[in-house]
Chains A and B, each alone.
Chain A
Amino acid sequence: MSRWWTVVRKELLDNARDHRTLASALLFGPLFGPIMFAVLISVVISQTVADVDSPLELPVIGAEHAPNLIAFLERNGVRVKDGPADLAEAREAVRSGREDVVLLIEPTYGERFVQGLPARVQLVQDQSAQRAARNVNRARSVLNAYSGQMRAMRLQARGVSPQLLQPIVIDDIDVSTATGRASLLLGMMTYFLLAAMLMGGLYLSIDATAGERERGSLEPLLTLPVSRSTLLLGKIAATCCYMLLSLAITLLAFSVALSFVSLEALGMSANFGPRVVVVGFALMAPFVLLGAALMTLVASFTKTYKEAQTYVGVLIVVPTLPILFAAFLSVKPTAALMTIPSLSQHLLMTALIRNEPIDVNFVAISVVSTLVIGALVTWLATLFYRREGLMG
């Protein structure tokens, strides 16, 4: 026990003095997720919320040719403003992103309108600009509405029912709510938590295995009266410490970052207070043993630091796969799913953030299953550490 603790302390101290390890474990890993998350959510909010409420600003060229149309636009929440001088300038304005959309009314508009011929307007737009798509659609639908109104009036003037021209009616029912979008974002949050946690232990696990061998400090270490299992368990425990620290920092960073973002605007309850931080830590923590053991096992297979970095880097993606799976299939928590590490943490964490009730049995299954699998992988790693080929 005391030797095991000696190894843990040495690995913690050794890695704490390495600024690269420390920065990646406790700074970049834990802070990257929350900051990106906050920025992402702010952008989503500003897009969804602001666009609906604000009137559409529509630059119009040749407004004098169609006073009735302009009046209709203004009645329907469009703020008409003077547009660029001509089509060429309008193209340039849209291409450069200064305007989302420009309406150009041709001089022949009035004449053709009176004769009952299709009167032409041009809608200058950039279809590759995602951001502008919404405003383009709004402009188009107002124009369509005007066109439909005129059509109906003309038909009625000739004694024909406008309904004849509308064999079917399509009602769009849009169920994509802000909450739906938010739940996708929530899935990403557990992803960041897991990734930051693994990143926290990444360098230590490599340094303690492949690094130790590459430096030539492994062989003398193995001549000491300490069993190899004790050495390895010490290294895994030290990795766990870093991962727990990284997890705690990430949760706190999320809590702070999200306090600056108004999640209510997305229909999400801004539920990331101290309770979520504490309970979330308890829910995620069991995964640490499994992550540390996996990384150590893989890193002790490799011969050099670089090789280990490559393999363990790939390994970090693996625990996030069940989360992707869950996001695409939008699975509901069941007892069976709670036996799958990372997926169970994801489902419980998501429920926690959504302020949904959490089934205590589910938590128990998740914790026990994850710890058992973690212990199994740890045992495998110690078996592996005992083989002679370890010396390389």
Chain B
Amino acid sequence: MIEVQGISKRFGRVEAVRSVSFTARDGRITGLLGPNGAGKSTTLRVLYTVLRPDQGSARIGGHDVRKDALAVRRAMGALPHGAGLYPQLTARENIAYYGRLHGLTGAALNRRVDGIIDMLEIGEFAQRRTKGFSQGQRTRVALARALVHDPQHVLLDEPTNGLDVMATRALRQLILRLKSEGRCVLLSSHVMQEVAALCDEIVIVAHGQVAATGTPDELRQRFAESDLEEVFVRAITAVASRT
């Protein structure tokens, strides 16, 4: 479970995230939905301990991101936005490198790497250097890398960005599979349809604040709108008028 309580983060004079709170439960897919620059990436960066929050706290699997960053990192796998691979290493080597840095060695490491390569259907190009991979292939390898230590929590920042229809479809099926395995999946997106199709719980973020949270149905009811897109627009404009 991921619990976020009132985190704020500012860069100089820009307040990127203001007192954001939400909860992402195990066995569910939670989506951070918001326009570009809403603070989704900053929130995720605080959660995967690359940034420290100025205020508030967040816990992943019970570990505090401020006090026990290493435990948080062990408990989750992250796919940052535009995550790059090492072009001179093969797909398998890229994945194994992360496995080793997670403390896996020997036969256990090989088992995990082989398993994740099977699961993400990377086998075909696992022994090739990642230089010249398509965006879809790169995303799959980056995701495999993030999952190599079998984390309970999976954080994905705009995972479908730059993917074609087939790759997007494959990725969605994979995210649903992670959910069915009982993992806690938190992903960000600026595409409403994607979040609607995939997420059990939606956190609408705008101007660094949470505009609304709930299941798609709850949100429709609360805003008395049958169209989620309208919900999205109204939630965002409501925040904009408040600030």
User: Which A residues have a C-beta under 8 Å from some C-beta of B?
Assistant: 2-3, 6-7, 10, 13-15, 17-18, 215-217, 219-227, 388, 391
Contacts and interface: CB of A to CB of B under 8 A. Distances in A.
22 contacts: A2-B100, A2-B105, A10-B86, A13-B89, A14-B86, A14-B89, A215-B86, A215-B87, A216-B83, A216-B84, A217-B85, A219-B50, A220-B80, A222-B50, A223-B50, A223-B77, A223-B78, A223-B80, A224-B98, A388-B52, A391-B45, A391-B51
Given A219-B50, A220-B145, A227 B100 contact: no
A15 B87 CA distance: 10
A388 B84 contact: no
Contacts of A3: 100-101, 103
B238 interface: no
A219 B80 contact: yes
Contacts of B80: 216, 219-220, 223
Interface in B64-117: 70-71, 73-74, 76-89, 93, 97-98, 100-103, 105
Contact of B86 (A217, A222, A225, A227): A217
Nearest to A231: B101
B49 interface: yes
B101 A17 contact: no
Contacts of B100: 2-3, 6
Nearest to B72: A225
A317 B86 CA distance: 30
B32 interface: no
Of the listed residues B48, B49, B50, B105, the one surrounded by the most CB atoms of chain A closer than 10 A to its CB is: B50
B126 interface: no
**Most B Cβ at <10 Å: residue of A7, A223, A391:** A223
A217 B97 contact: no
B102 A217 contact: no
B129 interface: yes
B83 A227 contact: no
A220 B51 contact: no
Given A14-B88, A222-B50, 6 more contacts: A13-B89, A14-B86, A217-B85, A220-B142, A388-B50, A388-B52
Given A6-B101, A216-B82, A225 B70 contact: yes
Contacts of B50: 219, 222-223, 388, 391
A80 B97 CA distance: 78
B83 A220 contact: yes
A223 B129 CA distance: 23
B146 interface: yes
Nearest to A230: B101
B73 A215 contact: no
Contacts of B103: 2-3, 225
Contacts of B81: 219
Contacts of B71: 225
Interface string B215-231: 00000000000000000
B51 A388 contact: yes
A219 to B, nearest CB: 4
A118 to B, nearest CB: 79
Nearest to A19: B88
B69 to A, nearest CB: 9
A137 to B, nearest CB: 59
Contacts of A2: 100, 103, 105
B101 A225 contact: yes
B88 to A, nearest CB: 4
Nearest to A391: B50
A6 to B, nearest CB: 4
A223 B48 contact: yes
Nearest to A217: B84
A332 to B, nearest CB: 48
A17 B73 contact: no
Given A3-B100, A224-B101, A225-B101, A219 B89 contact: no
